[in-house]
């Protein structure tokens, strides 16, 4: 771990792939800006890759004061070991007090490796981050302006607030879409600080042989209406009903983790704690029981319709309209009713 350094910056790992910044990196810049203002320290963004200097302006426009740039042709594609080494070297050099990562598959691969090397604390999948003075119960010591790391745990049945008194830096991953993407301010000024890191050949033992990226087909975040299916849909075939209803109302198709894990539909449709967070005008939840992880990703929806066979399903506790019944009968009725209105 690094020394507790209350003048340390608030850092964001600026995840990029093929020269494209992940949106979550920009969301985190905005959050880091807010935390850093409370701490009266600068925001740093760590940008690692090959020929990625051009991305620095966007990071600055979204809140970064310093962009720590590590460029190396060998870093063109993400690899755990050299990326982790590069970030660790910068953390050991500059002693930031907070480091945030997107809770993407890449972030969740990288961040714990860094935390283990530094023997620092690491909290996964935070849904909220705040700065507060914390009184440590055991020692009665007051820790000023600590990072409160809030996350659901225990299958989403509890909300835990995690703190890190002295195993610094305070590090966390944050899910995509949880922090709002603030509008960029192109008048902001920042500095690009080019960094030299030592990466010996032993860090490149894992070879990338082939890579295939599917463009994100589903635009859940931008959808005004979302029709989502859960475990209660029962099968991949039945998911056609969800697609059909979405087609009729002009909405996007979402799913709960249970439906994704059961193989009914692809992960890109997943809404909830480990999927996308959405705020549509209308959310129709079909056969979704409404575990907290799922609700965390959709409860801000303006209107929620729940269709579930179980009257006790927790989804009804946040629904505005509900139908207790079998979705295999109710959805065709809905499709028919909507068509008749047109």
**Quick one: 19 or 105, whose CB is closer to another protein?**
105
Q: Are 94 and 220 in contact (CB under 8 A)?
A: no
Q: How far apart are CA 73 and CA 210, in angstroms?
A: 18
What's the min distance (Å) between Cβ of 138 and another protein? 9
Q: How far apart are CA 68 and CA 90, in angstroms?
A: 8
**Quick one: 187 or 340, whose CB is closer to another protein?**
340
Burial class of residue 211 (count of CB atoms within 10 Å of its CB; 0-12, 13-18, 19+)? exposed
What's the min distance (Å) between Cβ of 191 and another protein? 31
What's the min distance (Å) between Cβ of 203 and another protein? 9
What's the min distance (Å) between Cβ of 78 and another protein? 9
What's the min distance (Å) between Cβ of 197 and another protein? 17
| Cα–Cα nearest to 279, from 226, 243, 217 | 226
**Quick one: 200 or 312, whose CB is closer to another protein?**
312
**Quick one: 111 or 233, whose CB is closer to another protein?**
111
Q: How far apart are CA 272 and CA 291, in angstroms?
A: 9
**Quick one: 148 or 192, whose CB is closer to another protein?**
148
**Quick one: 88 or 192, whose CB is closer to another protein?**
88
What's the min distance (Å) between Cβ of 308 and another protein? 10
| Cα–Cα nearest to 145, from 292, 4, 299 | 4
| CA distances for 55 relative to 101, 120, 183, angstroms | 17, 29, 16
| CA distances for 33 relative to 10, 28, 129, 200, angstroms | 8, 8, 12, 34
């Amino acid at each position: 771990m690094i020394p507790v350094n209350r003048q340390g910056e608030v850092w964001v790992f600026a995840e990029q792939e093929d020269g494209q910044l992940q949106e979550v990196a920009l969301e985190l810049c905005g959050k880091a800006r807010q935390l850093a203002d409370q701490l009266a320290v600068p925001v740093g963004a760590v940008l690692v890759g090959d020929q990625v200097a051009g991305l620095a302006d966007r990071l600055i426009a979204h809140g970064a004061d310093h962009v720590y740039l590590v460029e190396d042709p060998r870093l063109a594609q993400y690899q755990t070991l050299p990326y982790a080494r590069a970030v660790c070297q910068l953390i050991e050099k500059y002693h930031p007090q907070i480091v945030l990562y997107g809770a993407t598959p890449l972030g969740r691969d990288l961040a714990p490796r860094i935390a283990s090397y530094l023997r620092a604390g690491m909290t996964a999948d935070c849904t909220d981050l705040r700065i507060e003075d914390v009184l440590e119960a055991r020692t009665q010591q007051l820790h000023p302006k600590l990072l409160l790391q809030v996350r659901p745990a225990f299958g989403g049945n509890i909300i835990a607030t995690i703190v890190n008194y002295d195993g610094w830096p305070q590090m966390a991953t944050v899910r995509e879409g949880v922090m709002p993407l603030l509008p960029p301010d192109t008048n902001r000024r920042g500095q690009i600080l080019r960094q030299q890191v030592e990466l010996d050949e032993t860090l490149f033992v894992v070879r990338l042989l082939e890579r295939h990226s599917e463009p994100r087909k589903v635009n859940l975040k931008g959808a005004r209406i979302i029709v989502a299916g859960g475990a209660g849909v029962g099968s991949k075939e039945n998911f056609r009903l969800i697609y059909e209803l979405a087609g009729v109302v002009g909405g996007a198709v979402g799913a709960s983790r249970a439906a994704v894990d059961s193989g009914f539909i692809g992960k890109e449709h997943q809404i909830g704690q480990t999927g996308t967070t959405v705020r549509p005008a209308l959310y129709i939840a079909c056969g979704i029981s409404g575990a907290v992880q799922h609700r965390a990703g959709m409860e801000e929806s303006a209107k929620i319709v729940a269709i579930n066979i179980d009257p006790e399903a927790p989804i009804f506790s946040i629904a505005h309209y509900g139908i207790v019944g079998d979705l295999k009968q109710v959805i065709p009725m809905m499709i028919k009713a909507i068509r008749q209105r047109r």
